[in-house]
Structure 1
Amino acid sequence: MSKVPQKWLVVITVLLGTFTIILNNSMLNPAVPHLMEVFNADAVAAGWVITIFMVTMGVTMPVTGYLGDRFGKKQLYMAGLALFVIGSLLGSVSWDLPSLILFRGLQGIGGGMMMPTAMALIFEVFPKKERGLATGIYGIAAMMAPTIGPTLGGVIIELGSWQWLFLCNIPTGVLGLVFSQIYLKQTARASNLTFDLSGFVAVTLGVGAMLLALGRVSELAHLQDPMNISLLILGLIALMLFVKIENGKEQPLLDLSIFKVPAYTYSVLVASVSSISLFGGIFLIPLLIQGVYGYGAIITGLTFLPSALLTGIFMTVGGRILDRQGPSLIVTSGLTIIAVATMFLGFLSMETALWVIFALNAIRGIGMGLSTMPATTTGMNAIPEKFISRGSAMNNVLRQMSSALGIVFFSIYFEVRRSQIVSANGLTLPEASLQAINEGFIVMGVLAFLAVPLGILLGREYKKQAKKEQEALSGKLGD
């Protein structure tokens, strides 16, 4: 390790922890039916194993900016990873479903502390011109883990026991802690900060209620549940109150003025669209492979592997191009590739060969790799350095909510449209499922096409900022 530059050791360190967290969460998705059998629980109760992680992670993220600035980013990252490891160890010895849900909540808090902090730690050690490649490599964890996790989780459930879903986190988590202690630098602490309690209460209530409601919804009937409707209304009101509170604070929990920076706003929108496309695909493709074409879980998992591999490769390619040429070409190309490949997935038939789905999903992976992290990096570069921690926290919160919203939308759309098609056209269930899935991909493709101009706008803002920085540098040299 001594020959690896210090800054790249930071990337390796945070990638190790982040990959562990995202992989573990995605591994548990296929395990829910098995956990229902183990703990003799219904689907709603067992579903809390997934929901509680999403909620506790989401409500923790907004406060990470303050905590990182107040106590140091290294300390916050290590505390989050340690909590995640402890939650994993306790989760493996859970004696009933409520205890398992409690320990998953601990894991979520740890993950919420780590995810935004990881990006901020990378920005601390890399200059602007090198951040594209650095975040591209780091982004492999964020984009590849959700596609690999379900397959790995299924294999563990079939060949081992559910406890290994938690125990497998411990070696990599402990290794991540050792690396963090050795390779992460101490960051500056701000002692004059005041904690925005009212803003914290409002955003915790808002994000928590919204994520809780979305996590409880998987079909249209759930959306009509008075509890879910109440949670959504409560979350919306709390978030509106949060915006009002933050605009009146001298030291807000999340400084919303960063949305006045157009490049940051565009980057958040691109990240949200990418998250909807990614998780929408993760939801629809298993239904397509298993429910329509009748293949098993292993083939379903293999469908995602080429996409995951190409996403990782093209994230590094996209990062290099970003550092050299800016975001306009790379982000626009990535979004266009996602849109075109997704639209083609909307025209499948019962006779479509399996390799076609493999290929189209792989092409979508190329688009994800080219667009997501370059857009995020450009947006983060555009805001003042002092806002990096809070900008990363905001980006992660909105991405988390977009992912949940995407899954909810496409699950409800699939359920409703399939029923309508069976009733109206008299098609078989697989044929109706295929038509509903096709329409879902078309909706997803249209959304991606609508996002393409954001890449152009992001490029314009990048050029404006580069010109200002050049003029400022010339002015200093002239003095």
Structure 2
Amino acid sequence: MSSRLLDPPATPAATRKGRTPPVIRLLVLATFVVILNETIMINAIPRLMTALHITEQTAQWLSTAFMLTMAAVIPITGWFLQRVSTRSAYATAMGLFLAGTALAIVAPTFEVLLGARIIQAAGTAVMMPLLMTTLMRVVPEEDRGRVMGNVTLAMSVAPAMGPTVSGIILHFGSWRLLFAVVLPIAALITWGGLKRLENVGESQVSSIDWLSAVTAAAGFGGLVYGLSRFEGGDARVASAIVVAGLVTIGVFVLRQLSLQKRGVPLLDLRTLRHRTYTVALIMMSVAFMAMLGSMILLPLYLQSVRGLSALETGLLVMPGGLAMGLLGPTVGRMFDRFGGRVLVVPGAIGIMLALAGFTQVSMTMPYWQVLGLHSLLMVSLAATFTPVFTLGLGAVPPPLYSHGSSILSTLQQVAAAFGTALVVTVMSARAETLKATGVTDTLAALGGMRLAFVIGAVLSVAVVATALLLPARAANSGGHQPVGH
């Protein structure tokens, strides 16, 4: 990249203890805005169906395509982040995001709006691993938990707050306002970031293996697409696409193992040799499946069964989202002081109890109970995500940070798609079965939701099991000191 010649030299990968480096603050802010867009469309679907004359299945593509693009692009970011400077990666990510947002505001048709969402997602896909990789390079190990707490705020609270923010914005105007509000904020953050951002680490020049790039995009993208097809589509076609995606991922993995022998993999799978990283990866994936599943079920329950408006639903789930965000830094400080187990094990148990509580939803469940269970779920996720991210990435050697964060982010998207597909498929199948026995539509929908919450509660047992396998601190084999004092 020619812009690299104009960039200031890279700063040394160190910072004063107890301080969050400015580069991380800038990246957290940018990441919060771009990730917020992943779930901002959920409440807008009824408006879009009317405005653009499309079906619900077609409208869902605005969220599905976002996840699909992320899953296809993120595997390439490990290579990309090693090849370009921090400033170039940031400019690329935010430039794509701004272009997509501007296009979305003026989109005359659904197809143009879909294209805009794909461009936005490509920028978001670069932003997430860039933040994680930079953090691992510049933050001293004894401070990582505290700083990762702020990162969790962006990565977990943004998708949780999306429906609330969109519910409030849609109360005042059309769906275009969602993008019109985000654009100037994102532009301001981009300008501020480029003015103050410094390069971190040294970039390496390496060529890309196109077979790896194509199989990664087709494999992970195909897998997410196949999973999304289970929602109201033909199950046999969806299964075939999922299998094809998995086979392509198999080809991608074999190619990486071959390239690793020459030291030039697109996505370095040697990160998986580190047990703590692999356990953290499994736990994060299952927890994300449970979280996304409940995030989809709860608005459906509140709006379709209980008759609340999008704004009322957004306000009801807002306290949980805010609690999760505000607790992030506190959880991080506790992690630095006491290690991961004291947070992860109670957090995992909290997730299980909240999802078990949601299996009892009814036509008359008091709203304070719904709010309490949702808040318990969000607080428990806050206690879980920060230590899991920090322990997982802290367990791999520094040269593998960009690859470790790319694998983590890719699996997040696959887990989100899988969780969504699983709960929607289970809910629809159960509702149809109940309708066939003469149950009313509303009660059938409620029965479907209860069974879907049972699936979430079962998944959460696996979260508890993996939590018990995680160490208190990441003693890694990368030749640097274990996390902690």
Q: TM-score, normalised by structure 2?
A: 0.90
**In the aligned structure 2, how far is the partner of 1:399 from the partner of 1:205?**
17
Q: Partner residue of 2:446? A: 434
TM-superposed CA distance for 1:195, in Å, is 1.9
Give the Cα–Cα distance (whole angstroms) in 1 for the partners of residues 86 and 298 of structure 2. 38
Q: 1:53 to 1:470 in 2, by over 3 A?
A: closer
Q: What is the deviation of 1:119?
A: 1.3
**Aligned residue number for residue 367 of structure 2:** 354
Matches within 5 A, 1:452-463: 452-459=464-471, 462=473
Contact 1:272 1:402 in 2 (8 A): yes
SS at match of 1:458: coil
Cross-structure match for 1:476:
none
1:118 is the counterpart of 2:131: yes
Using the alignment, how far apart are the partners of 2:85 and 2:124 within structure 1?
Answer: 17
Counterpart residue type for residue 60 of structure 2 = G
1:309-328 → structure 2 map (5 Å cutoff):
309-328=322-341
Instruction: Tell me by how many angstroms 1:422 deviates.
Output: 3.4
Are 1:17 and 1:172, in contact at CA under 8 Å, matched by a contact in 2? no
Distance 2:113 2:394 in 1: 40
Which residue, 159, 179, 183 being the options, matches 1:170? 183
Q: Would the aligned equivalents of 2:355 and 2:377 in 1 still touch at CA under 8 Å?
A: yes
Gaps of 5+ in 1: 474-479
**Corresponding letter in the other structure for 1:191:** Q
- Residue identity (%): 27
Instruction: Kindly state the Cα deviation for residue 469 of structure 1 after the two structures are TM-superposed.
Output: 6.3
SS in 1 for 2:468: helix
Query: Alpha carbons of 1:176 and 1:410: their partners in 2 closer, same or farther (altered >3 Å)?
Result: same
Deviations 1:306-353 (A, max 9, x none): 110111122222211211121112111111111011111112333321
Contact 2:394 2:476 in 1 (8 A): no
User: In 1, Cα distance between the equivalents of 2:130 and 2:47?
Assistant: 34
- Which among 418, 422, 429 is matched to residue 405 of structure 1? 418
Specify the alignment match of 1:243 in structure 2. 253
2 CA distance for matches of 1:362 and 1:243? 39
d(CA) in 2 for partners of 1:236 and 1:9? 40
Q: How far, CA to CA, are the matches of 1:25 and 1:415 in structure 2?
A: 24
Q: How far has the Cα of 1:156 moved from its partner? A: 2.6
Residue segments in structure 2 that go unaligned for 5+ positions in a row: 1-15
The 3-state SS of whatever aligns with 1:248 is helix
Counterpart position of 1:450: 462
What CA deviation, in whole Å up to 9, does each residue of 1:103-127 have, x standing for no partner? 2211111111111111112222201
Aligned with 1:148 (options 124, 137, 161): 161
Label 1:191 to 1:353 Cα distance change in 2 as closer, same or farther (>3 A).
closer
The root-mean-square deviation of aligned C-alpha atoms, in Å, is 2.4
Following superposition, the deviation at residue 257 of structure 1 comes to 1.3
Whether 1:36 and 2:46 are equivalent positions in the alignment is no
| 1:215 CA displacement | 3.0
2:192 maps to 179
Q: 1:463 to 1:6 in 2, by over 3 A?
A: closer
Distance 1:351 1:44 in 2: 30
Tell me the amino acid that sits aligned with residue 33 of structure 2. Answer: T
Match of 1:421 in 2: 434
Q: Given the alignment, which residue of 332, 336, 341 partners 2:349?
A: 336
User: Are 1:389 and 2:402 matched, yes or no?
Assistant: yes
Q: Secondary structure of 1:348's match? A: coil
Paired residues, number = 465
Q: Does 1:268 align with 2:289?
A: no
Instruction: Give TM-score scaled by structure 1 length.
Output: 0.91
Q: Contact (CA 8 Å) 2:396, 2:476: kept in 1 or not?
A: no
Shift of 1:207: 1.0
Contact 2:392 2:474 in 1 (8 A): no
1:6 deviates by: 7.2
2:137–2:201 contact (8 Å) kept in structure 1: no
Shift of 1:19: 1.3
1:295/1:7 Cα in 2 relative to 1: closer, same or farther (>3 Å)? Answer: closer
